[in-house]
Amino acid sequence: MLILDGKLVAAAVKETLKAETENLLKSGKRAPQLAAILIGSNGASETYVASKVKNCEEIGFTSLLVRFDETIDEASVLHKIAELNADDSVDGILVQLPLPKQISEQKVIEAIDPSKDVDGFHPSSAGKLMQGLPSFIPATPYGIMMMLEFFKLETKGKHAVVIGRSNIVGRPMSILLSSNIPYGNCTVTICHSHTPNLKEICLQADILVAALGKPEFVKADMVKPGAIVIDVGITRVADDTAKKGFRIKGDVDYNEVAPKTSAITPVPGGVGLMTIAGLLKNTLQAYKTNTGV
């Protein structure tokens, strides 16, 4: 059984991006810049944004963190996005989700200029992805594709089952795996909360992607022997014995599932790190398009 180590793959991707950034700086160009908007003080969101900023710095990108209070109104957020859209020194814009109730996620996503949409959530990016046109790929599925490529896990002709149909993970993942691209060409089944015979379908999966947000939901009796299992789930589960008072759990019961698989991603240390790698790659791509490099 192969452990799909996200740390290893993300480090390799970051090394390449760092070298490219160094070359840009040497030739007198500015560094790529990512702007992140963080609203409120949700613990997980704080951690994700801090990690994105830190990773930018590690590879020589610059970053801009815009913070708003939990009670900020929608118009002010949209105004800030318009400002960042117009700022030539900003290549990529991300708004950390989830948002407080008074702010429409859809309006925020659609306000970002598609040329700076490094999260790949804008309908324009999603439409291009669906039609197989060059576009920003949502960072998590993008990171998973990089992982499949890094470990040369053959996907052609395989049956992939994706649990979860969100716009940020499940749906774009299913599109990529079914596309006629390297590490695509799977026959894909997408499952969701109304799928009645989930276990039966999962048992047919050569590649199983779990992205439903239910800790340790996927058990050994749902997994075909020798399957590749990709665990996207990240849930904080309260645990008094842990230093922080919680532990991060994936959607897969790793201890019982891992021995049955041919390859599996751990949580933490798997897909989460690849998501950041995807975001950084998208930011460099945005920079190149926006500056004409």
Q: Which residues are catalytic?
A: 52, 96, 119
Task: Using CB under 6 A, pick the residue from 141, 172, 233, 266 that binds ligand NAD.
Answer: 233
Residue 222 touches ligand NAD, criterion: CB under 6 A:
no
CB nearer to ligand NAD: pick between 166 and 185: 166
Q: Residues 215, 254: contact at Cβ < 8 Å?
A: no
CA 227, CA 257: separation in Å to the nearest integer?
Answer: 10
Q: Rounded to the nearest whole angstrom, what is the least distance from the CB of residue 190 to ligand NAD in the complex?
A: 9
Strands 159-163 and 92-95: unpaired
Task: Using CB under 6 A, pick the residue from 18, 159, 192, 236 that binds ligand NAD.
Answer: 192
CB nearer to ligand NAD: pick between 24 and 280: 280
CA 269, CA 199: separation in Å to the nearest integer?
Answer: 26
Tokens of 203: 């048992």
CA 12, CA 10: separation in Å to the nearest integer?
Answer: 5
Amino acid making up residue 98: P
Residue 120 touches ligand NAD, criterion: CB under 6 A:
no
CA distances from 179 to 155, 156, 173 (A): 11, 10, 10
Residue 170 touches ligand NAD, criterion: CB under 6 A:
yes
Task: Using CB under 6 A, pick the residue from 193, 200, 239, 293 that binds ligand NAD.
Answer: 193
Task: Using CB under 6 A, pick the residue from 92, 120, 184, 272 that binds ligand NAD.
Answer: 272
Is residue 164 left, alpha or beta, with left meaning phi > 0 and alpha meaning psi from -120 to 50? left
CA distances from 125 to 91, 118, 167, 171, 282 (A): 16, 9, 11, 13, 12
Task: Using CB under 6 A, pick the residue from 80, 122, 165, 224 that binds ligand NAD.
Answer: 165
Count of residues of this chain found to bind ligand NAD when the rule CB under 6 A is applied: 24
Residue 212 touches ligand NAD, criterion: CB under 6 A:
yes
CB nearer to ligand NAD: pick between 92 and 233: 233
Task: Using CB under 6 A, pick the residue from 135, 140, 155, 178 that binds ligand NAD.
Answer: 140
CA 240, CA 242: separation in Å to the nearest integer?
Answer: 5
Return residues touching ligand NAD (CB under 6 A).
140, 163-166, 168-170, 191-193, 195, 198, 211-214, 232-235, 271-272, 275
